[in-house]
């Protein structure tokens, strides 16, 4: 019997200042579950995976009674452990990646650093998509091996809207992802959903995180998907 709902992701699954709820809390309240929040601002997908696994390793009694909600963030974020702070940090967003910088400053010469060539090769969109598929499959396999019930979705866009990547060689990875437990894989994110009605669904013109209304509307989409696929 399920009694808890655990949510993990980035700031899109946290309460912004002055807000009452977020999607995870709303879903927990709807089903009458106790909410467990692991999400944090700026969190990348590597840290999402590790913190989710550690929670169940440290709390094995929660395996059978917890439903998990995963909001995948931007795959360009790379998490690492800061040896000085002994805590998780992350580096890289679409705006900080080489591709975005190149788009904004096309005439700017790359730094005279031998690592630059390697960096731009690694941070190409095709590689980031492959990375995200691997991360999703790792989390999916973990849940299914332990019999944990779950639902996943994109909190942030996988790619900028104007970027298209040929995925022929990645289709075998994509096909292994359980579409009955992933809301609109590669099609819709919480971010793209709220930006369709910014004045209502975002905190402000300068803060494009979901407002209370943006969380409530998204929660209804996810709840309908959960019930349509009998995930709970």
- What pLDDT is attached to residue 129? 86
pLDDT in tens, 66-81: 999 999 998 888 777 6
pLDDT interval class at 161 (50, 70, 90):
low
CATH architecture of the domain covering 4-228:
3-Layer(aba) Sandwich (3.40)
Measure the CA dihedral 121/156/191/225, to 10°: 130
Name the residue ranges covered by the structural domains of the chain: 4-228
Pairwise pLDDT comparison (33 vs 77), residue with the higher score: 33
- What pLDDT is attached to residue 103? 31
Q: What share of the chain is helix, strand, coil (3-state, %, to 5)?
A: 45, 15, 40
Pairwise pLDDT comparison (178 vs 75), residue with the higher score: 178
User: Which residues lie below 8 Å from residue 74, measured CB to CB, with a gap of 6+?
Assistant: 10, 44, 93, 94, 156, 157, 158
- What pLDDT is attached to residue 164? 64
Asked if the model's pLDDT at residue 91 lies above 90, the reply is no
């Amino acid at each position: 019997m399920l009694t808890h709902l655990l949510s993990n992701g980035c700031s899109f699954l946290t309460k912004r200042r002055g807000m009452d709820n977020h999607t995870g809390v709303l879903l927990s309240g709807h089903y009458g579950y106790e909410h467990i929040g692991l999400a944090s601002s700026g969190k990348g997908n590597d840290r999402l995976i590790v913190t989710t696994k550690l929670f169940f390793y440290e709390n094995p009694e929660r395996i059978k009674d917890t439903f998990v909600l995963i909001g995948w963030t931007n795959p360009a974020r790379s998490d690492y452990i800061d040896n000085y702070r002994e805590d998780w940090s992350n580096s890289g967003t679409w705006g900080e990646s080489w591709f975005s910088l190149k788009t904004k400053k096309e005439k700017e010469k790359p730094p005279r650093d031998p690592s630059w060539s390697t960096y731009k090769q690694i941070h190409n969109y095709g590689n980031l998509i492959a990375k995200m598929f691997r991360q999703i499959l790792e989390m999916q396999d973990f849940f299914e091996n332990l019999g944990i019930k779950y639902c996943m979705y994109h909190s942030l866009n996988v790619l900028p809207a104007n970027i298209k990547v040929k995925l022929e060689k990645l289709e075998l990875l994509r096909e292994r992802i359980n579409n009955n437990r992933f809301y609109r894989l590669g099609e819709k994110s919480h971010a793209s959903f709220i930006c369709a009605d910014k004045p209502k669904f975002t905190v402000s013109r300068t803060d494009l995180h979901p407002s209370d209304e943006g969380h409530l509307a998204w929660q209804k989409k996810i709840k309908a998907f959960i019930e349509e696929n009998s995930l709970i």
